[in-house]
Amino acid sequence: MTALDIQISVEEGGWPSEDELDTLCQRVLGESAAFLKTSEKQPFPKMATEVSLVFTDDASIRTINAEWRNQDKPTNVLSFPAYPLTPGKRPGPMLGDIILAHETLVREAEELGKTFDEHLTHLLVHGFLHLFGYDHIESDDAERMEGLETRILASLGLSDPYGETDPI
Examine the pLDDT at 164 and tell me if it is beyond 60.
Answer: no
The answer to the question of residue 34 being in a domain is yes
Distance CA 70, CA 85 (A): 22
Mean pLDDT over each residue of the chain, to the nearest integer: 91
Instruction: Evaluate whether residue 160 is within a structural domain.
Output: no
In sequence order, the 6+-apart residues with CB closer than 8 A to the CB of 74 are 58, 59, 61, 62, 65, 101, 103, 104
Share above pLDDT 90 across residues of the chain, in percent, rounded to a whole number? 79
Q: What is the structure's pLDDT at 24?
A: 97
Q: How many domains does the chain have?
A: 1
pLDDT score for 160: 77
Residue 166: predicted pLDDT = 46
Reported as a pLDDT band with limits 50, 70 and 90, residue 168 is: very low
**In this structure, is residue 168 part of a structural domain?**
no
Does a structural domain hold residue 167? no
Torsion region of 65: left, alpha or beta (phi above 0 gives left; psi -120 to 50 gives alpha): alpha
Mean pLDDT across the stretch 84-104?
A: 94
119: CATH = 3.40.390.30
How does pLDDT run across 14-29, given as a tens digit for each residue?
999 999 999 999 999 9
In a domain, 61, yes or no: yes
Statement: residue 86 has pLDDT above 50: yes
Q: Cβ(56)–Cβ(13) under 8 Å?
A: yes
| Gyration radius from the chain CA atoms | 15
pLDDT digits (tens, 9 = 90+) for 35-56: 999 999 999 998 999 999 999 9
Structural domain of residue 18, as residue ranges?
A: 4-155
